[in-house]
Structure 1
Amino acid sequence: MEGMKQHHAAKWLALLGLVVMACGGLFYAVSIRHGDWGLIGAGAGLAIVLLAALVAHEAVGAFFAKRSARLGLGSGVAILAVLALVMFLGALSARHHVRWDFSQGQMNTLSPQTVKVLKGLKEPVKAYAFFKDDQAGRMQADEELGKYSYVSRLFTYRFVNPDAEPGLAKAMKVRNYGTVVLVGGGREEQVQLPEEQELTNALIRLGKKGKKRIYFLTGHGEPALDGVAKDDFTSLRKALEAANYEVKSLMLVTSDQVPPDAAVVIMASPKMALMSQEIERLSAYWDQGGAIMLLLDPESDGGLKTWLKAKGVVLGDDLVIDQASRLAGLSPLAPLASEYGFHDITKMMSGTFCFFPQARSVTLETNLPKGIKGEELVKTSPASWATDYKGFLAWYQAQLDKMKQSQGQQGAIELKPGKDDRKGPLSLGAALSKQGQTGKDQAARKVTSRLVVFGDADFANNEFLELAGNHDLALNSVSWLAADDNLVAIRAKSRKNQPLLLQPGQERLLFWIPLVVWPLLLALVGVVIIIRRRRTR
């Protein structure tokens, strides 16, 4: 009687062990971050099964003494081995799989910047996508979020129906369908448009503690930061704010120094020169480890030509002309840059183009001052040349006057390099860095001063910022200056709609071959194999 009770208890104990093993294996297969718990559960289930076998060891021994049991055991072990292999391969494919993107321009692949940010995650981030079950755009959001989770196992997501879970939507202050909330590190960031650029910017903001401040110098006729004119820098300001920077204006003439919280100081398209006091304050800021970006058009150097010369930067009093720009539908006065120096700002921009409307040359001395390292960032095509700026304006105006006097005859002014002009490729920008220290004795600390100079400001204004690679070049420069290495990359590609257009015959083939012909062919092969096996018995 006692043996029967033990046998009955062992059966239930073995069943419990099998259930625990199955649950542990399933948890390991689907878990992203805590797969070890699944393995622990499977091991615990196996231990329970072995315990059950130990409790009913007499019944187990008697059972395996039978010939039928031994034969069945062999078949059972083979079946279990196959099932275990299938489960292992399934779990392996779920946790470690590879994607291939065959779309034009790899539009379904995340940009290098996004991959960089995801690889740099230090703690888990979970995205809550608030969509109704049948809402338009849900499938596209699922595809986009799936790309992120594929790159980093620390990024997970789930869809939430706001109508079914209003409490969660209220707690996360979600007011609109289609909102994605990123949660990580005790902070939240909302995204109204779940596309790569917005999601990546939200990830960056989530990982930052506080905002770095970018100051734009004012008081010298610079374009506005909040204007709508094509020469203004509203688009650049918004792009910087989207990358979690705080943008402010700075009138240096009324300040005794550059604010200590300045991550980067930008001077863009000044019409007047800085006063000597302003140059001294700007120089003191740079010597103490500051970061400066200068966008200087041909008509004005902001009074900084001598200051730059002392650092090995030669600012040309010229205008760069490029006939290759005509092929892109632009004026020859907007030189095309397609060659880049090997620098953190431009090393990932190979294969992209930038345009610089009315630019001057910016080159580096062969021998830079001691302690300064520099690299020329962008160069024009071989079809370009640099000519004297004032001389060109006078000549160009004379050509226009001749055209007006030719009884209204219209024609394009032919541009050719003169004998004194410098032929391309020509450098239009440069980046410098200098290692130094501030303070004395025990209070001394090492600092790195950084400087970026471009011979044009228009490439970053409202009209041209989104043209070709201008956006990446401008933001990469600011990110390098601010020492935000994870932001120096290529931004998300703009998505293009490319529908697949098929002829009626192609549509029929696409339907019949995979959906009808192949299944029937496989079924026919199976029937033939079954018939042949029966005949051979």
Structure 2
Amino acid sequence: MRGGLSRLIHALLCVALALLVGFLTTRFGFRSDWSANGRSSLAPQSLELLKRLDGPVEVVSYVGPGGTRRAEIAGFLARYQREKPDISLRFVDPADDPAAMRELGVSEGGEIDLRYAGRSERLTLLSESLVSNALLRLSRREERMVAFLAGDGERKPDGEGNADLGQFTRYLLNQGVRCVPLVLGAGARIPDNTDLLVIANPRVAVAAPVREEIVDWVERGGAVLWLTEPGENAGLDKLAEALSVRVLPGVLVDGTGASLGLGDPRFVVLAGYPVHALTKGLELTTLFPQAVALAQLGAPRWQLQPFLRSSAQSWTETSAISERGDSTVRFDENSDEMRGPLDLGFALSRLSPRPDRREQRAAVIGDGDFLSNQFLANGGNRDLGLRLFNWLLADDSLIQLPPREPADRLLQLSPGRTTLIGVGLLLALPGLLALIGGLTAWRRRRRR
């Protein structure tokens, strides 16, 4: 009787202890990351950034309910929410309103919109580096001013036409970058508060005083982005000379587009990029319709680094190509055509002549269509454009996270050792457990 009561009391105490532990876990939490290199926790740089964010962060994920993608995103962002509880996550199914999603520029693969302090930035991939750096850019309070040269038929920064850049500049505005058209008349100067001057494909020759002011702007240390096109006759030879860049004749043709189903050989698709801070980690393909190849001058006054390069199957086609494409287009060895790989994007940097002696940056790209309303949603065009403007605005002092790859756990075993381990697990270990069980049962019988 006393033994039964003792066992009952013991069971009740165990149940009470379990209930107490369960209650305490709802009031107090403890978490420890034992993964290799701490891969399941945020890096110290990200933790420091979250401490500096003094307002709520809203995350909107455009992902459908099917599959495991929502759970993966929620699990990843839980790391941030543990450190900053006012980070909210909301899922939107793109299939509920496809028209609204197209207007927002949401791709079918799903995107993640980070919103903080009235600004937003959209990500197509998810990683700690991308999320933390996006939050860092959104936390910067100063507004940047980008002037788009206007008056000579350039692409309009606020236009809604297929060739204009209105959709892209709205993304820039969400990041605190204001884009305004700039008409330069005789004797006019580029305002000193301009952070970046953009020349987006003038359709007619730029007036001589304007050309002189643009070159003078560069020589004064101003940042510039020049988007040029095949056959463009804007009279910007002095600008090309100041930037140590030469525009090659003809249109860039790439044979790899045929394997992707592109009928027009003038559509250049890039899936790999030369090593540069601009394209670091960019894994998306980009599309460049009707691009022109570039080359650097023999004695450049800048440090020139290509960041866009065509494949070995490309060349500069100097003959006319129909708009529907021409499957008979071939490289002509007996002409002045040049065979690829060819550069179509240069990033330039040098020590600024301004008193602050900061780095002066410029970029030249042999295509402007990739940022236009018509082609912005293709692949990684928007991502590349945002990277480009961040770099030109010297807004790339980002969080550098150390690589935290899992430790190498590969065991190299000889066939003999593999057999020995198999025999031990399949025969020896079960036999040992059976022997111990038998001995225990035999001893209990003897005691009775």
Q: Percent identity?
A: 23
The counterpart of 2:280, out of the listed 336, 343, 347, is 347
* Cα deviation code 1:28-85 (max 9, x no counterpart): 9747xxxxxxxxxxxxxxxxxxxxxxxxxxxxxxxxxxxxxxxxxxxxxxxxxxxxxx
State how far apart, in whole Å, the 2-side matches of 1:352 and 1:130 are.
22
CA–CA distance in 2 between the matches of 1:386 and 1:251?
A: 33
Rounded to whole Å, the distance in 2 between the matches of 1:387 and 1:116 is: 52
Residue 363 of structure 2 corresponds to residue 470 of structure 1: no
Partner of 1:213: 145
Q: Is there any run of 5+ residues in structure 1 with no aligned partner, and where? A: 1-21, 32-89, 101-109, 162-179, 401-409, 439-443, 490-525
- Out of 208, 223, 232, the residue aligned to residue 291 of structure 1 is 223
Q: Does 1:415 align with 2:322?
A: no
Give the number of equivalent residue pairs: 358
Question: How far apart, in 1, do the equivalents of 2:158 and 2:394 lie?
Answer: 26
* Residue 241 of structure 1: how far off its partner (Å): 1.7
Shift of residue 480 of structure 1?
0.7
- The residue type paired with residue 329 of structure 2 is L
Distance 2:144 2:313 in 1: 41
> Please, what is the CA RMSD of the aligned residues?
4.6
Is the counterpart of residue 337 in structure 1 residue 236 in structure 2? no
The reply to whether residue 267 of structure 1 matches residue 181 of structure 2 is no
Q: Superposition pairs for residues 309-320 of structure 1, below 5 Å? A: 309-320=241-252
Structure 2 CA distance for aligned equivalents of residues 116 and 263 of structure 1: 32
Q: How far is 1:426 from its partner? A: 0.9
Q: Does 1:374 align with 2:304?
A: yes
Q: Which residue number corresponds to residue 426 of structure 1? A: 342
- Is 2:254–2:268's contact at 8 Å kept on the other side of the alignment? yes
Using CA pairs under 8 Å that are at least 6 residues apart, name the structure with larger relative contact order, 1 or 2.
2
How many Å separate the matches in 1 of 2:171 and 2:178?
11
Question: What do the CA deviations read for 1:353-395 (whole angstroms, capped 9, x no partner)?
Answer: 32211111111124313xx21112211111111132xxx23xx
Does structure 2 retain, via aligned residues, the 8 Å contact 1:144–1:194? no
Scaled by the length of structure 2, the TM-score of the pair is 0.66
- Paired with 1:428 and 1:116, the residues of 2 have a C-alpha distance of 38
Larger Rg: 1
Distance 1:268 1:159, change over 3 A: closer
Aligned to 1:150: 79
Contact 1:429/1:452 (<8 A) preserved = yes
Q: 1:456 aligns with which of 367, 374, 377?
A: 367
Structure 2 unaligned spans of 5+: 1-20, 91-112, 401-432
Partner of 2:8: none
Q: How does 1:249-268 map to 2 (within 5 A)?
A: 249-253=181-185, 256-268=188-200
Which SS does the other structure have where 1:278 is aligned? Answer: helix
Q: Is the 8 A contact 1:121 1:154 kept in 2?
A: no
Cα distance change of structure 1 residues 488 and 531 upon mapping to structure 2, 3 Å threshold? closer
Q: TM-score, normalised by structure 1?
A: 0.56
Equivalents in 1 of 2:374, 2:44: separation in Å?
Answer: 29
Deviations along 1:455-488, one digit per CA (max 9) or x if unpaired, are 1111111122221232222221111110011579
Residue equivalent to 1:361: 293
Offset, 1:120? 7.2
After TM superposition, give the deviation of residue 284 of structure 1 in Å: 2.6
- Residue 445 of structure 1 pairs with residue 445 of structure 2: no
More helix, by proportion: 1
**Counterpart position of 2:94:** none
Partners in 2 of 1:476 and 1:298 — Cα distance? Answer: 24
The SS at the match of 2:308 is strand
Aligned-partner residue type, residue 344 of structure 2: L
SS of the residue 2:292 aligns to: coil
